[in-house]
């Protein structure tokens, strides 16, 4: 059977992979809230209290009974009796009646009886026992009510939310000092190839330094996983078998850059098949770059064979490994993800029936952006270094003409 008939489309490949991973759920872990930046909430976070915990002033000024300021103006100020000052960090001891007022600071607790605050700038001091109010206020003005932000039982952060500085502040404001988040999936990364040597070593003629282990580890870390880099494997069935088994036992996901030769990729697929059921689901995707991709699920655990060349490996990792990790984190798309549109600067021919991805640089023009494709051969890692993102040409197209607007996936 010719190879192209065995190749799956990217969408079919992802579909069958996700279907076989339907039992893959986030695992919970409790961590300190202040260390939770970019972690994803495991469940809904509920408040057990009110925020603010008491009615507070939002300005520096004078607490009043709003009705007492009625009709106040520059020409005809209202005089109020100054009965004291609300101390910060303490229960307001003052109780206001009628034409009484009390000095209050931003964040201070509104005294009993008061229902508004007059801003300092709209008052004038007189003799120290009274003030002049130059503008009327309405009930509720310049205050924030107890529980106005959050009430007990409110879902303050839904499950599957990645935490930003605001979420961390919100948790701590409620006294939630530890939080249940999705555990980072452990992702084993294995590189193979007789010609591949550790980056620390000086290559002999015919050898190349390992790029994939650390570029993939960085991508995994960026996506929210915990990378575990294994030593480079030679193109040897026994070594590949032993290392892969070890990785499969210790990690939640196994990624193999499946060597440069077809025979090593076949060995990888055979070992995947031996680890559990159903085994290899996809062996080859009709995509450029990235055709020799292998997707397997063994007893519920995902295994990915990536192409050996570094550009293809990173492109497929962006398209498959990153969403896989996000799924294992339970990431729900609560956050808006920007779509970047740009006009192609040149014609991009592509082969019908195949998904193609082109690295591009983006430039901002007057009213639009342009996407300038970086032409490259597939093992040129620096073509990706020069790129801001990639343009996708779907299988039903035979290319995109210059000037057309395309969507860009940022790296």
For residues 304 and 314, which CB has a smaller minimum distance to a second copy in the complex? 314
For residues 27 and 87, which CB has a smaller minimum distance to a second copy in the complex? 87
* 1 lies in the site for a second copy, by CB under 8 A: no
Among 16, 332, 380, 409, binds a second copy (CB under 8 A): 380
For residues 22 and 200, which CB has a smaller minimum distance to a second copy in the complex? 200
* 409 lies in the site for a second copy, by CB under 8 A: no
* 199 lies in the site for a second copy, by CB under 8 A: yes
For residue 221, count CB atoms less than 10 angstroms from its CB and return exposed for 0-12, middle for 13-18, buried for 19 or more: middle
* 188 lies in the site for a second copy, by CB under 8 A: no
For residues 308 and 330, which CB has a smaller minimum distance to a second copy in the complex? 308
Q: What's the CA gap between 275 and 301, in Å, rounded?
A: 10
CB of 314 to a second copy, least distance (A): 6
CB of 153 to a second copy, least distance (A): 14
Q: Enter the tokens of residue 397.
A: 């197209």
CB of 277 to a second copy, least distance (A): 30
CB of 188 to a second copy, least distance (A): 16
* 399 lies in the site for a second copy, by CB under 8 A: no
Q: What's the CA gap between 74 and 68, in Å, rounded?
A: 16
Among 42, 134, 210, 344, binds a second copy (CB under 8 A): 210
Residues 121-150 close enough to bind a second copy by CB under 8 A = 121, 144, 148-150
For residues 100 and 312, which CB has a smaller minimum distance to a second copy in the complex? 312
Distance set, CA 89 to CA 92, 93, 148 (Å): 9, 12, 19
* 34 lies in the site for a second copy, by CB under 8 A: yes
H-helix or E-strand spanning residue 30: strand 28-32
Residues 223-282 close enough to bind a second copy by CB under 8 A = 235, 260-262
| Residue whose structure tokens are 């999936």 | 185
Q: Is the dihedral of CA 14, 16, 21, 26 positive or negative?
A: positive
CB of 333 to a second copy, least distance (A): 10
Among 50, 379, 395, 397, binds a second copy (CB under 8 A): 379
CB of 180 to a second copy, least distance (A): 17
Among 378, 395, 399, 409, binds a second copy (CB under 8 A): 378
Q: Is the dihedral of CA 235, 239, 245, 247 positive or negative?
A: negative
Among 219, 253, 319, 406, binds a second copy (CB under 8 A): 219
For residues 157 and 256, which CB has a smaller minimum distance to a second copy in the complex? 157
Among 98, 152, 175, 353, binds a second copy (CB under 8 A): 175
Residues 38-57 close enough to bind a second copy by CB under 8 A = 38, 51-54, 56
* 374 lies in the site for a second copy, by CB under 8 A: no
Cα diameter, the chain: 100
Q: Residue 352: how many CB atoms within 10 A of its CB?
A: 10
E strand map for 261-404: 278-283, 287-288, 294-298, 301-306, 340-344, 348-349, 355-364, 369-373, 389-393, 399-400
Chain centroid to Cα 45, Å, comes to 18
For residues 37 and 300, which CB has a smaller minimum distance to a second copy in the complex? 37
CB-based contact 191:257 (threshold 8 Å): yes
CB of 112 to a second copy, least distance (A): 12
* 389 lies in the site for a second copy, by CB under 8 A: yes
CB-based contact 256:306 (threshold 8 Å): yes
CB of 300 to a second copy, least distance (A): 27
CB of 19 to a second copy, least distance (A): 26
Q: What's the CA gap between 141 and 135, in Å, rounded?
A: 12
Among 1, 153, 238, 336, binds a second copy (CB under 8 A): 336
| Residue 210, SS3 per DSSP | coil
| Residue whose structure tokens are 């039982």 | 153
Q: What's the CA gap between 227 and 238, in Å, rounded?
A: 24
Residues 273-332 close enough to bind a second copy by CB under 8 A = 308-310, 314, 317
Among 207, 250, 347, 398, binds a second copy (CB under 8 A): 207
CB-based contact 256:321 (threshold 8 Å): no
CB-based contact 207:350 (threshold 8 Å): no
Instruction: Give the CA radius of gyration of the chain.
Output: 31
Among 89, 127, 238, 396, binds a second copy (CB under 8 A): 89
């Amino acid at each position: 059977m010719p190879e192209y008939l065995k190749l799956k489309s990217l969408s079919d490949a992802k579909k069958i992979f996700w279907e076989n991973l339907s039992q893959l759920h986030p695992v919970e872990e409790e961590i300190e809230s202040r260390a939770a930046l970019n972690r994803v909430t495991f469940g809904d976070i509920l408040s057990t209290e009110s925020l603010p915990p008491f009615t507070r002033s939002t300005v520096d000024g004078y607490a009043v009974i709003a009705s007492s300021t009625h009709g106040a103006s520059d020409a005809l100020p209202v005089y109020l009796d100054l009965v004291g000052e609300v101390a910060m960090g303490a229960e307001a001891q003052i109780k206001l009646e009628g034409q009484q007022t009390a000095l209050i600071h931003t964040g201070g607790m509104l005294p009993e009886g008061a229902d508004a605050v007059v801003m300092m700038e709209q008052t004038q001091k007189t003799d120290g026992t009274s003030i002049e109010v130059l503008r009327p206020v309405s009930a509720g003005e310049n205050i924030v009510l107890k529980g106005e932000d959050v009430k007990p039982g409110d879902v303050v952060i839904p499950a599957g939310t990645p935490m930003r500085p605001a979420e961390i502040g919100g948790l701590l404001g409620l006294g939630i000092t530890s939080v249940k988040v999705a555990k980072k999936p452990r992702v084993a990364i294995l590189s193979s190839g007789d010609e591949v040597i550790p980056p620390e070593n000086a290559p002999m003629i015919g050898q190349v330094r390992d790029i994939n282990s650390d570029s993939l580890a960085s991508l995994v870390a960026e996506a929210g996983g915990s990378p575990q880099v294994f030593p480079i494997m030679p193109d040897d069935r026994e070594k590949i078998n032993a290392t892969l088994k070890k990785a499969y036992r210790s990690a939640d996901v196994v990624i193999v850059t499946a060597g440069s030769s077809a025979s090593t990729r076949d060995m990888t697929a055979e070992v995947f098949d031996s680890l559990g059921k159903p085994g290899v689901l996809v062996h080859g995707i009709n995509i450029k770059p990235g055709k020799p991709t292998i997707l397997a699920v063994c007893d519920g655990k995902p295994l990915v064979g990536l192409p050996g060349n570094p550009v293809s490996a990173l492109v497929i990792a962006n398209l498959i490994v990153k969403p896989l990790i996000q799924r294992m984190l339970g990431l729900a798309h609560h956050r808006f993800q920007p779509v970047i549109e740009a006009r192609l600067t040149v014609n991009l021919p592509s082969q019908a029936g195949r998904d193609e991805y082109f690295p591009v640089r983006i430039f901002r023009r007057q009213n639009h952006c342009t996407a300038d494709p970086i032409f490259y051969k597939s093992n040129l890692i620096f073509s990706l270094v020069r790129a801001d993102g990639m343009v996708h040409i779907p299988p039903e197209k035979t290319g995109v003409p210059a000037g057309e607007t395309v969507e860009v996936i940022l790296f």
